[in-house]
Amino acid sequence: MIHLSHKLNTLRVTLGGVILALATGILTFAPSLQQACAVAFACGVIVTISGFVQVSLMVRFYHQWNSSVLHRALSKAPPDATIRILQTWMPDRETFLPRLEELLTTEGKRFHFKILLVSDTDMPDVLGARVRFRPESRREAADQVRSTIDQLKQMTQRVNQAWKSQHNGARLDLTIHSYSFMPFGPIYHIGDSMFVGIYPNHCSSAHGPMIVVKQNSSRCWDLFDLHLTTALKASPQVFPAEG
């Protein structure tokens, strides 16, 4: 889907006007270059229009989950953005969490995190259902969930330590929630984008496709936003411990 918005880009409008003027002037003095001037004139029109109208894709599709796209989105997100993540566990945590920590401790980000991870209890056994056709055993999957939680806690401690001197003792706002419903795939809400995957029954979501949904794509955005909001309301907080 394509979204059009009106936004003046003075540089593009000026450049487009210059190209149009040059194409017209050259044609006046060198009629033999009519074809080349026509192409240049068309380019000038396109550049000028792009200076008034911004074209953006509301939904983008990748054939495979692309972690580098997430990293770029984190880098571009507002410093105080709220990051919401829904996953079973984080299969890419060995690269994702170090990048998060770097952004928080050396690049001025002060994100707020709300993270949903699958419950490792067996009532209902959502985790067992997730790995039923996968090579991992249920016990191995539960270890992955606990390892993700432990690494998130450790990252929080290191960030808090770094912020003692950087931000006058501010503490990282990070909560972890445990869900017991069957999701259809991971969702990472970063800034004005949501990155949505699927859970193939035989392998990790890292091997499945990625859909990028922009905030101005009302229906898709509203659907996933409500999905995350409902999940957070229904899922108990496991870190920090409540009460």
Are residues 78 and 109 located together in one domain of the fold?
A: yes
Percent of the chain with pLDDT over 70: 83
Q: What whole-number distance in Å separates Cα of residue 236 and Cα of residue 232?
A: 8
The average confidence (pLDDT) of the chain is: 86
Verify that 155 and 41 share a domain, yes or no. Answer: no
- Count CA atoms within 13 Å of residue 191 on its CB side: 17
Domain co-membership, 115 together with 6: no
Cβ-based neighbours of 33, under 8 Å, separated by 6 or more: 26, 27
- Both tokens of 69, joined, read 């796209």
Pair (129, 103) in one structural domain: yes
Beta bridge partners of 54: 5
- Tell me which of 33, 56, 79 is where a domain ends: 56
Among the ranges given (54-68, 134-148, 154-168, 198-212), the one the predictor scored with the smallest mean pLDDT: 54-68
Of 11, 26, 56, the residue that ends a domain is 56
> Do both 90 and 198 map to the same domain?
yes
Higher pLDDT, 52 or 86: 86
Same domain? For 50 and 67 the reply is: no
Tell me which residue of 98, 95, 100 sits closest to 113, measured CA to CA: 100
Asked whether the beta carbons of 116 and 85 are under 8 A apart, the reply is yes
User: Do residue 21 and residue 127 come from a single domain?
Assistant: no
d(CA 61, CA 81): 24
CA dist 219 → 84, 215, 232 (Å): 19, 9, 20
70 and 88 within one domain? yes
What is the number of alpha carbons within 13 Å of residue 163 lying toward its C-beta? 21
Q: In this structure, what CATH number is given to the domain that contains residue 119?
A: 3.30.870.10
Q: How confident is the model at residue 5 (pLDDT cuts 50, 70, 90)?
A: very low
Q: Are residues 51 and 81 in the same domain?
A: no
DSSP string, 172-234: -EEEEEEE-S--SS-EEEETTEEEE----TTS-GGGS-EEEEETT-HHHHHHHHHHHHHHHHH
- Please say whether the beta carbons of 207 and 197 come within 8 A: no
Same domain, 28 and 105: no
Tens-digit pLDDT profile for residues 186-215 = 999 999 999 999 999 999 999 999 999 988
The range of the structural domain enclosing residue 47 comes to 2-56
- Domain end (from 56, 74, 89): 56
For the chain, the straight-line distance linking the first and the last C-alpha, in angstroms and rounded, comes to 46
145 pLDDT exceeds 90?
yes
Q: Please tell me the predicted confidence (pLDDT) of residue 7.
A: 55
Same domain, 46 and 164: no
Q: Check whether residue 98 and residue 42 sit in a common domain.
A: no
Strand 82-86, strand 112-118: pairing: parallel
Exposed/middle/buried for 217, CB within 10 Å: 0-12, 13-18, 19+?
Answer: buried
Q: Which of 158, 161, 179 is nearest to 84 (CA)?
A: 179
Q: Check residue 23 and give its pLDDT.
A: 64
Tally of domains within the chain: 2
